[in-house]
Amino acid sequence: MRIALLGGTGDIGEGLALRFGRDTDHEVLVGSRDPESARDAVAGYEETLEAHGAEATVKGFVNEMVTDRADVAVLAVPPYHVGDTIESVADALDENTILVTPAVAMKRDDGGMQFHPPSAGSTTELVAQRAPDGVPVVGAYHNLPAARLADLEADIDYDTPVVGTDRDAVRTVVDLTNEIEGLRALEAGPLSNAAAIESLTALTITLTMYNDARDLGVKWQE
């Protein structure tokens, strides 16, 4: 499978590129608005992967090009830029590319980090509104700490709820995510459940602030 990371030069993009690169046989395509940034990021990721004994296929191009070749395209850009980014790659999206969004809109106040959703209810639902007709949209990875993913020395043990209206697309993302060691993807129902998941990210950051903790994530136990 080909996994494109749009804005894959950033924090969550790096974490996902390294974990998919090390733990799976899928082709990882790192996207950027600038081809040189994509190539630079790939050079760094390859160096890290090689240092960890992984023979991964990672390539870097502009966002449009990685989307065009993708089975799964992760919108790893800031929440306020999901709309422009979708517009910039719209011609490359169709019903055969699953568009995955990890984006969470938040703002900081005196009490901590607060969930600050768009009028759609969540950034995930905003992405679904802005995606071209027929493109399956899935929300995932909202609560994962990027820095911990990017540290391949570190073990991880996190859950990530996955939402979407297209059940096949949800299952594809769940199965793909479960290939990463230490991640458990959980089906979480339709896109309308995304706000509850996104709000957990703000709470997690607030918990980090008050408890001198780092790399907190979510894990549901039986």
Note the residue count of the chain: 222
State the number of binding residues for ligand NAP (CB under 6 A): 25
Interface pick for ligand NAP out of 4, 20, 37, 138 (rule CB under 6 A): 37
Q: What is the per-residue DSSP string for the chain?
A: -EEEEETTTSHHHHHHHHHHHHH--SEEEEEESSHHHHHHHHHHHHHHHHHTT----EEEEEHHHHHHT-SEEEE-S-GGGHHHHHHHHGGG--TTSEEEE----EEEETTEEEE---TTSSHHHHHHHHSPTT--EEE--TT--HHHHH-TTS---EEEEEEES-HHHHHHHHHHHHTSTTEEEEE--SGGGHHHHHHHHHHHHHHHHHTT--S-------
Task: Give dist(CA 220, CA 185) in Å, integer.
Answer: 11
Give the residue, chosen from 26, 81, 116, 171, that forms a contact with ligand NAP under the rule CB under 6 A: 81
Does the protein bind ligand NAP through residue 39 (CB under 6 A)? no
Closest contact distance (angstroms) between CB of 157 and ligand NAP is 16
Asked whether position 103 contacts ligand NAP by CB under 6 A, the answer is: yes
Residue 76 interacts with ligand NAP (CB under 6 A): yes or no: yes
Write down the least CB distance from residue 83 to ligand NAP, Å. 9
The least CB distance from residue 64 to ligand NAP, in Å, is: 11
Please give the residue whose beta carbon sits closest to ligand NAP in the complex: 10
What's the closest the beta carbon of residue 177 comes to ligand NAP, in angstroms? 13
Which 117-156 residues touch ligand NAP, going by CB under 6 A?
Answer: 141-142, 144-146
Choice from 16, 28, 32, 89 touching ligand NAP (CB under 6 A):
32
Rounded least distance, CB 88 to ligand NAP, Å: 8
Q: Are 145 and 157 in contact (CB under 8 A)?
A: no
- Nearer Cβ to ligand NAP, position 10 or 112? 10
List contacts with ligand NAP (CB under 6 A): 7, 9-13, 32-34, 37, 76-79, 81, 84-85, 102-104, 141-142, 144-146
